[in-house]
Amino acid sequence: MNMNTKHISLRGTLILAIVAISFNACKPETTGELGEPFDKVEGMAGTWELSSFTQQDLNSPVKETRDLSAFYIDGTVTPLQLTFNADRTYSVALEMGKNYFGTGGNWGFDDDLYPTYLELFSTEDTLIYNLGGMVREFDQNLAIEYRRNCGVTATNIYTFQFNRLN
């Protein structure tokens, strides 16, 4: 490498450094506060009606998701409804389809500030579901995932999509 090439390489590096510094110097200052975090219990409180039900077979090489909503929704009977109360009790209304949520009882999260799992407690069983996302008081959709396992390996994911009724 001759002296002229070294000079050009050093100059290019210097120019890139100056450009990078100038971009960082031009960022606007972040002002304001994020505010209080949303109350997750208030977000869940209300009655939720099933809008779709899907199954993903994790063992299938295609990894397709199948819409199985017809097992719960036929346009005649009221679809599956879950009611979560602020006192952390819940109830289930089901006219058609398999009941994956028990008959009712108490509910909670694995962590009230940063929930990942919805836990349903009844006299017969404790059921644990993944949350497809956390809902706030004004959100209209809720996703609950039931992961069916064979030993420690997940084989299917059933996703229940709900719409808020109230």
pLDDT > 70: what percent of the chain? 82
Q: Per-residue pLDDT tens for 49-81?
A: 999 999 999 888 887 899 999 999 998 999 999
Cα-Cα end-to-end distance for the chain: 74
Q: pLDDT value at position 17?
A: 66
Say if CB 145 and CB 129 are below 8 A apart: yes
Query: CA-to-CA distance for 49 and 70, rounded, in angstroms?
Result: 14
* pTM of the predicted structure, to 2 decimals: 0.75
Residue among 72, 57, 73, 49 at smallest CA distance from 161: 49
Instruction: Supply 160's token pair.
Output: 């229940």
Q: Where do the domains of the chain lie, and which CATH numbers do they carry?
A: 40-164 (2.40.128.540)
Q: Per-residue pLDDT tens for 31-46?
A: 667 667 788 889 999 9
DSSP reduced 3-state for 65: strand
Q: pLDDT value at position 124?
A: 85
For 82, other C-beta atoms within 10 Å of its C-beta total 24
44-76 core/surface letters (b: 16 or more CB in 10 A; e: else): bbbbbbbbbbbbbeeeeeeeeeeeebeebbeee
Q: pLDDT value at position 89?
A: 97
Instruction: Supply 83's token pair.
Output: 């009611």
